Each structure stands twice: as C-alpha cells, then as structure tokens.
Structure 1
Amino acid sequence: MTKATHNLGIKVTCIFLVMIAGMTAFFSIVGILFAGESGIFSDQKKSYYDTPWCENTTYSYSDNVVRWYVDGAGSEEIAQFFSNGKTNFAFELYDYNGSLVTKSEKPEKIGLTTSYSFYYNEARDANGEYRYFDVPVAYTVVAYVADPLAAPDNYWLTYRLYSLTMSLGYWLFLIALVSLLVLAVSFIYLLCAAGHRGESEEIVLNVQDRIPLDVYLLLWSGTIALTTGIISGSAYYGDLDISRMLAVFFGFFILEALTLALLMTMSARLKKGGWWRNALLYYIVKFFWMVCKAILSTIGDAIHALPVTWKVAVGWLVISSIYLTSTYAAGIVMILNFVLLIVFCSIAAQWQKLSRAGKQLSAGNLEYKVDTRRMFRSFRQHGEDLNNISEGIAIALNQKMKSERLRTELITNVSHDIKTPLTSIINYVDLLKKEELTGQASAYIEVLDRQSRRLKKLTEDLVEASKASTGNIHCSLACTDIVELVQQAVGEYEEKLEAAQLEAIINAPENEIVYGLVDGNLMWRVLSNLLSNACKYSQPNTRVYLQVKQNADMVFITVKNVSRDQLNIDPDELMERFVRGDSSRSTEGSGLGLNIARSLVDLQKGKFTLSIDGDLFKAQVRFARASLPETHPQTIAGEAEN
C-alpha cells in the first residue's frame, strides 16, 4: 500500500486546499479589519456612507475629476462621464480662485456630501489657460453620493462587499481560523511529501527541483517583484473596480503558488542532500577554486623542485646588486656574475639531486637511482656511490631474506623428518613399558621415555618458534576479557603449580572488566609459556604473582616469580633462542619459551619485556585496550597454519 506521503492524489488535493485556504484566510482577515473599521463588532454600526469603503471611492473619483481637468479634459466631457445613470457620484469643481469650473447633475437623494482639496503648481484658470505658481494652489471638489446606490459603479461593488461583511459578522473569525488550520495542516503535509514518489523511499527530484538553485531563486524573486507591483498598483487609492479586484485576486493567487513552490522545492532539495551542488554559482566557484589550486600547485611544485637553486640565484643577485653599483667596470662584472650565477645554480641543482637520493634511500626506496649525467666530477662520483649503496643494500637484503627463508624451511623439514622416527621410538617405548621388565632394564626404559618426550617437545617448540618469528601464524584480534583469560590459564596450570610447590596470586581490578584487543588463543599460549617457565625455574614454596591493570589506552599483564637459580644474565639475552636461566642446563626446558612468547605478542601488536632484580624475575605484556566488547575482529599479518 502506498504511503500517504507518496500518494499523488493526496498531494494534488492538499495543493488545492493550500491555495483555497490561503485565499480564504487572507480575505477573511482583510474583511475582519474592514468590519472593525466599519463598527460591525461594536454597538455603533456605521452606515455604508460613513465607512472607509465609501470614503476611499469618493476620494478616488474626486481625484480623477481634478486630474482630468488639469490634464486638459473639457468641462462638459467630465460632467458627461459622471452623469446620472452611469455613476452614483456627482460633483462640483472649483478652481484656485473659488470659481465654479464644472459640475455634474446631482442625484435626487444624497447619502453623503463631502469636499476635498487637491494642490497643483501648474493650473488652468476659468478661461482654460495654464499658469505656473511657485506655491501650489488648491482645486476644491464638492462630492455627492446618491442614496440609494443604483448605478453599477465602484460604489455598488464596495457596497456589496460591505453588505457581505455585515451579514457574516463574527463568522469571519471562524472562517479565518478554519482556513488557517486547513492551510497549516496541508502545508506541513506537502513539505513532508516533497520528493516522495511511488513505493520508493528514495527522494526523487522533479523538473522544478532540477533547476539550478540560484537561477530558480533569481526567477522566483523577479516574478514576486512583478506580481507585487501589479497588486500594489491595482489597490492604489482603494479604487476597487471589478478589473482591479480581479488583478489583486489573481496576483495574490500567484504569490501564494510561487511561495508554495519555493518551499516545496527547498524541502525536496534539503532531503536529497548536496543541494548546494545544484547551483551555477557552486560550479563557478568550484571552477575558479580548481584554477587557483592548479596555479598555486604549479607554483609550489616549481619552488619545491628548485628550492636550493632558487635561493642561490636570488641570494647571488642580491649580493651582486650591492657591489655592482659601486664598481666602474659594470659591464664586465655583470657578465662575470651571470657566468658565476649559472655555475652556482648548477652546483645547487646537483646537490639537490644527491640530497633527494639520500632521502629516498633512508626511506627504504632501494630502487631509486641518481641521474649522474651532466654532473661535476666530485658530485658524479658521490652519486655513483649512492647508486652502488642502494644496489648493495638490495643484494644484502635479498640474501638475508633468502637465508631466513632457507633456515625456516630447514627447521620445518628437519623437524618433520625427526617426528617420524621419534614417534616410532615413543610408541615402542610405550610397548616396552607394558612388558614386565626387571632390574636395570626398567630404569633404562624410563630414561628413554623421558628423553624421547623431551626431544618431541623440543621439536614442537622449534616449529612453533619458526612460525612465530616469521609471522606464519593466523592472528585475529578481538575484544577479550583479560582477567577471565588469566584465571583460566592459572586454572589449567593448577596441578603443575602444586607439584612445583608454588602458589598463584592474581591481582586484578575489582568490579571492573578489563577488555583487551588480542587473539585469545595466542594470548593463552603466551600465558602458558610464562606459567610453564615459572613451574620449571621458580624457587619452591614461593608465590607466582599475576597482575592485570589498565590505563586509558593500554592493558598490562605482569608475571613475577622468584628464581631457584641465580640470574646472572641480561634480560634481552634471555629472550634469545636456546637461552635458559640456569647455566647448568639441568632442567628440561628448550630455551625457546620466552622467544616464542615475545614473537606471539609482536603478532598481536603488543610489547613483551623482561626485567631481573636479583632473583626476582618479571615479565610484562602490554597491548591495546578495547573499550567495548562489540569490537569487531580484525585479521592481521600472518598466514593460516598448515
């Protein structure tokens, strides 16, 4: 079903209602004003002859009599125009000397007698000759209005309007109120419905809406000014004949239609958005802006391309102008300065090329080459050295990447080759353990079982360390509850911690959830490595502290424990591969745990640090804080595990 704001029939109906209600409201309010002046709403109602309606018409007719006479019309002609039967108006015209110039036939019964004076500098005397006066002289018109009004003139028309107003009386207020209410409701609906068509919710512009806004406003303003002028001219002096009343009526109708059209098109343009783009002025300003931008960009590029040369040239010309004025051989000095200027500009340009090459190399652009042609010998040699440096760095980098790739492949392949026989050894050891062996054979089997499983763990750590260091691990960052993750890790290691005679203490904010942007699986492996490290190397009957805290941007996890052996090693060295805290290497660790933990933290865009204070070992992991649990996961560098 089509929505009300999309229904064409309702739109057309509301447009008619707006036009009709607007006209009715306007003329009702005008009627109320005239009725108030006529005393309709008071106890002393005026007759038609005492109202402004009659007075304005009488004044207009009197003014016409004087103007026609001054402009040269004949007395009989004027009197004939206002004769009985043609109009309800009669007059007597007196010149500036008080002499009767002309008059019309009086009606049998007079309803109003009044007089008006009109002043002119140029006037006609009784003989019809013109004279100019420095001080305006007065013509006097004694006007008479017939009773009853029988002739169909302006009196008859205004009397009908007066009678209509008298008959309506207080109903005019109700008509005005209802008209204003209908006007407001229909107008608001049209503003809401502007731009809507059919079943689509998209704003659709019509022909009017596609006209450039500034052109539309210009045409609208011109039409409004013309229509207002017509209405003002038609209502001048209140001479309300039929033609002028129709002109006022249709003029107001046009004003109302134009105002409604403007407001509806502005509503549709605002809903559509980008209304400023549909204007000629916008494209003109945009064009000039693009031209100015292109000019400024060209000037900027030119200055940027030759900054050193330009500075050298300007500086040299300034210096030359100083001593050129104080020398006698100005011509020779000028030629010499010009030659030196060319030489120094060339030196500046060559130096700029070398400087640009150095910046490119420092930014890592090893493909950049310096054009050493047309350079002085020293500069050319320096440029060739820079080119050779870039080539050497590129070769060394390629070799390093190749070596790293080969090493990773070697570790992966060797680990894979070791797994096959190692798995067989472990399986056969398990079978031997099920046999009832006695004496030294049972002890030998235990040693084989322990060492084979240690070798298996070392092989797995090698593969994991290789993948972690090369980023060959899938990492998906998501909003994670860090406190819950730490608690789960401690719970998993509860038995191992008890076997190592250690007590885990978790310090975390109370009544506050700490969210971090991490990969839950990778972070659990980091915590697992740290707790495993604590179980292997901590002093028995001590505590392992795990602290979680946060600030505005970061989350911190700190693991502290007391080492069983003396830690006489640098923290950075301790994170290298195959390095352990016990120099005797009597424990079963591979020396890869901390290195793997650091690589996994780096993959999560975090920071892994170690610090040693005597026998106190402290590892800290920091990473970005997530403010909301709805944070969408994002996958970063790394490939899926094979």
Structure 2
Amino acid sequence: MDTKLKNYSHLITTKTIVFILVILCFTGFITAFVNIAVLNDGDFGIVYEDNYYLSRSYMRESENILNDLTRLIGEYKNEEQILNGGTVTEDEMRREEEKLFSEFQYNFRSYNPNLNEEENYKKFKEVYADKLTQARDRVIKNDLREYNLLLQRLKEHKGVLYYASNGVNVYTNSTELKKEHFKSYPSFIIFDKYEKEFYPTELKDNQYLYQFTNIVNDFDPASNVIYIAYTKEFLDPSIKEWKEDKVTATNSLYRLAGFLLGLALSFVYLILVVGRKSFKDQEVQLNVADRLYNDINLLLCIGLIILWVGLLSAVNSQNIHRMIIPVTIPVAAVGLVLVLSLVRHFKNKTIIKHTLVYSILYKVFKFARDVYDSGSVGVKIVLIVVAYPALVAMTFFMFPVTLGIAAWFAFKQIKSFNAIKEGVERIKGGDIHHTIDVDGSGEFRRLAANINSITQGLKSAVHNELKSERLKTELITNVSHDIRTPLTSIITYVDLLKKEKNPSKVEKYIEVLDQKSQRLKILTDDLFEAAKASSGNIPVNLERIDIVSLLNQGLGELNDKIEVLDLEFKINYPQKNIYISADGKLLWRSIENLISNIFKYALKGSRVYIDIEDLGNEILLTIKNISAYELNISADELMERFKRGDESRSSQGSGLGLSIAKSLIDIQGGKFDVQVDGDLFKAMIYMPIRKSNE
C-alpha cells in the first residue's frame, strides 16, 4: 500500500487532479460565500432559529411598525402640534443658531470684534431675527415631511393591523379598536399602559426582543397604548419565505464548510508534492513558469486579485451568482500557477535570488568588479607611473595660464554671488520688481532664476491680494445696495401702512410689500447658494446624461416665458446622441441660470443661439444672445459676484447667476467661460463625454 502511494503521490496526473480540485474547491467556497454575503446579507443566524416567531425577520418587521407608531404618538402627536412648533427641540434650534452665528461672525459687516461674545450675540439675535425664524420654519417643514412619511410607510404594511394612542391622538388602520379584537388574530403584540402581552408565547424567548421593547421604555406607560396584530394574510407567506431562507442559509453554510475543508486539504497536499518526484527527493524540479522573476510574479498575483474584484464589482448583485464561476475559475487557475512557482522557488532557496531587482543589482556589481579586475598589476603600475608625472608636467608648463583661468573664474563667481546678495537685499527692502541678472550658467544662475521666480510669485500674490480687497469692497457695496433697496421700500411702506386708513391703498401697500419681500428673499437665497456652490459643499451624483434631451426638456418647461419675452431660440446639435458625465440637476441649474440671465438682460424680439459641438473627449455647449444693455464691462468682471451687465443695477438680477453656474460646472469636472463682443454675450460650457461602456 505504501509502495503504491509512493508511486502515485507525485505523478503529474495526480498533481493535475489535485490542481483541478483546488480550483474547484476555491471556486465553490467563493460562490457559497458570495451567496451568503450578497443574497442572504451575510446572515447565518437564521440557521439557528427554531421557528418564525423566534426569528430576526419577525422581530425586524414588528420593530419597524412599533418604531413608526411610537414616533407618531410620542414625538409628533399630530399635524397641528408640528405646525405650532411643538416638535422643535432646543438642541435643533441651538444647532441652527450656531450655524447662523458663525455666518454672522465671518460674513456680516455688523460683527464687532471689539465687543464681547455676549454683546455680539445679542446683536446677532437682532440682526438675524428673520433668518432664525426661517430656520425654525425649516425645522418644522422637515418634521412635517417626516410625519407624512411615517403615515405613508404604515399604509404599506399589508396584513398587519395596528392601533396606537397617547390618550389624545389615535393612529389605526382597524375599524375595531378593542384589545380583544386584536388578540383574536394568530399573532399579536400588546402594550397597554403597564401591561405587555405577546402571542405566541414563545415570542418572549426571541433573542431580539430586548431591542424591540427598548423602543417603548422611554414612554409614559400610564397614557400610551399600542396594539399590533398579524393576520394569516401576512403570516403564511412570511413563514414560508423564512423557511426557504433558512434552508438556503443552512445549505450554503454546509457547502462553505465542505469547500473550505477540501480547499485546505488539497492545497496543503499540492504544496507538499509540487517540485519534487517523491517525498524523499531533495532536488527541486523547476519548469517553464519558474523562469518568471518572483517579484514580477508577486505583482501579477496582486494584479489578478484586483482584476477579479474589479470584474465582480462591475456586475449587478442580482446577477453576480451567474458570473462568479466563469470569472473565478480562469483567474484562480492562473493565480495558482503563480503561487506554486513561488513555492518551488522557496523550496529551492531562490525566492530572493530569482527576482528582477536582485538580478539587476548583481549584474551592476559584477560589471564594476570585472572592470576593476580586468587589468593586471603591471598595467595599473604603468598607468600610475606614466599618467601622474605627465599630468604634473602639463600643469607646471601651463601654470600661468591655469592660474589666470582660475582667477578669472573665481572673480566671475564672486561677482555673481555679490549680484545675488545685493538683489536679495533689495527684494528684502520691498523692491519686489527687482530682477537679479546673472550671466552664464551653473548653480548661481539657477539660484538667481529661482529667486526671480519667487519675486514673480510674490508680485502675483500682492496683485491677487489687492484684487481680492477690491472685490471685497465691491461685494460689500453691491450687497448693501441690492439688499438695502427692497429693505428701504419695505420699511417705508410699513410706515405708510401704519398710518393709512383707506382699504384700497392698504391693499396696494401690502402688494408692494409682498413684491419687495420676495425680492429680498431671492437675493438672500442666491447669496446663500453662491456661497454653498463656491465652497463645493454640494453632493454631486455623476451619471450618463443625454445633453440634447436634457436641454429640450428644460426649454419646453420654459416655453411660456420665452413666448412672453418674444425670444426666438435657435438650437443646433449633432444628429447622433451625445452622452456626458454630469449631475443632471446641477447641470440644468447652471443652464437655467444662463437662460434666466437671458430673460432679464436679452433684447426683446432677438434670437438666442444654442449650439452643441462634439469635441471628441468633451462637448461644448454655447449659448449666445444680444444684450438689451450696453456691455461696457469685461468678461472677467462679469464673472465676479454681484456684477451685472447694467452698471446702473436697475434690473431685477442679483449678479450671482454666472458665479453660481461656474461653481456648479467646476464641481462636476467641467469648464465654464464667458465672452463679450460688443452687445453679444456668449457663455460656453465644456463637459466630458461619457462612453457607453464606462
């Protein structure tokens, strides 16, 4: 028997069979693991659950319903409570106040750093009273939206009856509200003041029950009542589905353990026999695959892992079980060949020597040693005896010349050094326009060029700082002008409204107040959106978008405004579909800002040209129109915040449209530019093209 084992254990046929067995076990293990991790959410707990009522599935369904009901009767109570601000907590308002106070500190001209924190906070409360009110309204809207979402979610539960009350508010989907009615169903959960009832009774043994009951622990048991009952309509398919999932998880677990054991045994056996003809054989047999350098081999193994992960990541989770075998088998086969090659080199003690890095270093060292060892001792002595005196003799006869050359070279270097030293002193003294001029080449020349580059950067920084200060001044002036105009009107009409007794005039004053307040709201919203866009604090969801369809759909929605302004839109685009990589909402917001500018500033009755060009790797979207105002301003200035084409600032724009559009295009990876030619205004958007296979 031992002789037969020795004869067959190291045969190429045996090794091939074990090799295939390793691949099959590895593929089976990965397949079983993916089935559990992806299809069963990695949940092995169902294997140990005795019945549905002790399962996580039952408790999770109940927990969702109970959580929604407790939030309704405990947190929200009713819609009136929410609208009256009863759900707005101190913590929520404190967070909103902290955000606005930070904005007040850094962005508002009324903040006085010389005052203490308490005085500034008092001033903040006065100046930001409207924004604080808006923040509170926003919190209320969010609570109202969450409240309606809970109601909608409860309606989606089929075959589940519920009743919840806090003594005042009641939420139920049952016409019969008595506890006995709910207890007549096959399964129920009762929280009646201090009483808790579960049926079937084994629910009390459910290991997830503590998570469930923790939901109602913070409630006042004296007033809160919750009944939940499950009908056969709900339980029968749920129990059937649980049983099927349990069978699937159990089978997957057995397969996983079996394949893992087979993989371990076959792989260990393969490691023991690879490279040798018998267990007593000390010589390692290498093959063609072992000619590959070990470090290259290791890099290929890592590359195969990355390739395998990448291929499976690109597959939809619903189809991954179909692709796992055809992807894993070839990758695992190639990877196992490479790993076994490393094992053979390890046995052969050439794991380090047979690397590309070692080979290169060894050859360089050997070449240097061979060059040194190539000459005999006699040759070396002749070279030293003949070459050294010859060099001394040449130096002696040329001594005056070499001395003059050395003196000239030293003088030139000292001159360059002094020029650099003097230039640095002048730049240090504030003359940033000074340029250090050093002739020739060498280290001093490069040093002078580097210092000159520093002065250029310093000049650029000073220029940018001056420009920034100018922009800040203009920003404050423009913001003050734009906000003060409607604010002054509001104050004036409020004073008139206080004194006016005529109802018809009161109605007119109120209409004006509404217009001005809406104008003020638009300005502040635009300012906030511009700040948010420029900071990049906007989530971007890049997807494959048909730019032509997006443009046509958007213009269709704006058709009424286009007809009112008597504008004629001319659209030119390629016949084939063009897909780009962009966030549809942000891209349309940018285009909408440009079209909004056209509505405000374009000459009535004129044409608007929109062209889409395919540039290969990107598309160019160009929007051109004739301005109703004289554009006596550069394109760069138009891109600045609160800049308008009409310097009188008589139009209704905020001057932020182009700034917002540019920021939104930038965060999507595109480019935005504008050009002005007389009264012709042209906006250009470049966006990367997305291929169908990306």
Fold match (TM-score > 0.5)? no
TM range (shorter): 0.3 to 0.5
Instruction: Flag the structure with larger Rg.
Output: 1
Structure that is richer in strand per residue: 1
**Normalising to structure 2: TM-score of the pair?**
0.39
Calculate the TM-score normalised by the size of structure 1: 0.42
